[in-house]
Structure 1
Amino acid sequence: MSKLRMSTEKRIKVALRHYEQKDREYLERFELPEGQIEFSALPKDVLELAIQDQERYPVVIMYEQKIVGFFILYEGPNIASFTANTSAMLLQSFSVDYRHQGQGIAKGAMLQLPEFMKNQFPGRNEIVLGVNKRNKAAQAVYLAAGFRDGGRLIDGPIGPQHIYHLTLA
């Protein structure tokens, strides 16, 4: 099978949708190795805040009809430290369950994100995120999915973070 065909098939199998209450049980069993927990919170640690905060939108990543990942889209005032663009949203707490890593799911999810944003958040024209300078694996995923490094570093909770941008058409 050609690499292009495999990539296309992977994207078709990966889907994004808003969190639903029925997802909680799986997200509470979500696993990340210690080296990744340093860079991204477990869903169970950020889910309650995301549910209660009207400026946060928890999103699940589906692969072959199973929940395999999670992230939060944020539109509140704290986004100003990442971009001056008032039509941007901040992507936070992105992770793929350890049991499903290494299959191209993270990249597939990021490739689905522009279409998800267009359908769910019309009027938004950019996604921004902070990625730790030491988190080379995450940087590779974001860059491969079309994000660009804005060339700016900010202080993050565990060290410098690159600010990445994805312009939405």
Structure 2
Amino acid sequence: MSIVEKEVVSLVFYKPEYKVLLSNYNLSEEQQRYTAFPLDALQKCESESDRHPIVILYGNQPAGFFVLHGWEGVKDFSENKEAILLRAYSINAEYQGKGIASQSIKLLGAFVKKHFPNVNEIILAVNHANIVAQSVYKKGGFVDKGIRAMGREGEMCIYHLDV
């Protein structure tokens, strides 16, 4: 019996050397309704200093991406000035189904605590129709406190994770 080792999932801050690999990023049409492509999100990060791009590595390959956005992003959803907003979260289509999303969400709290020591809560907005994403977030410890907001694709549920 052989043991197949799974690649390690890790979170790292974006570096320019990831740009080429992120340019070949694929999302289904359904996913494109709810999230941004990494290169589009990176453009906003370049012009807004409180947006921090993060790459999800699977082994040493960029398999996913998200942005941690400070108060300018949070204030639409919460009054907590010590919160940070998780946005533009996605896993490249060719890496989906490997548990990378679940593992990356489980790593998120410790990553934020290490790199943003003043943050005590992670907030995200997920479309009410995006059931797959809601499931991943809930398994990772996010809580739906019943707060709702309107987004470009309709009603969004605001989820919270204490760190």
1:54 is paired with a residue whose SS is coil
- Partner of residue 151 from structure 1, selected from 121, 146, 151: 146
1:38 is paired with a residue whose SS is helix
- RMSD between aligned residues: 1.5
Residue aligning to 2:131: 136
Native 8 Å contact 2:71 2:81 kept in 1: no
- 1: CA distance, partners of 2:65 / 2:24: 12
- 2: CA distance, partners of 1:94 / 1:44: 12
Equivalent runs, 1:13-162 vs 2, <5 Å: 13-162=8-157
Residue aligning to 2:162: 167
- 2: CA distance, partners of 1:106 / 1:81: 25
- 2: CA distance, partners of 1:44 / 1:117: 22
Native 8 Å contact 1:41 1:93 kept in 2: yes
Q: CA deviation at 1:52?
A: 2.7
> Which shifted more, 148-157 or 45-54?
45-54
TM-score norm. by structure 2 comes to 0.94
Structure that is richer in helix per residue? 1
TM-score norm. by structure 1 comes to 0.91
Q: CA deviation at 1:96?
A: 0.2
Q: Percent identity?
A: 37
Native 8 Å contact 1:51 1:58 kept in 2: no
Structure 1: segments with no counterpart, 5+ residues: 1-5
Q: CA deviation at 1:129?
A: 0.5
Give the residue type in structure 1 aligned to 2:25.
Answer: F
Q: Which runs of 4+ in 1 moved over 2 A?
A: none
Q: CA deviation at 1:83?
A: 1.0
Native 8 Å contact 1:129 1:163 kept in 2: yes
- 2: CA distance, partners of 1:63 / 1:89: 24
Give the residue type in structure 1 aligned to 2:51.
Answer: R
Give the residue type in structure 2 aligned to 1:115.
Answer: A
- Number of residues paired by the alignment? 160
- 1: CA distance, partners of 2:48 / 2:76: 19
Structure 2: segments with no counterpart, 5+ residues: none
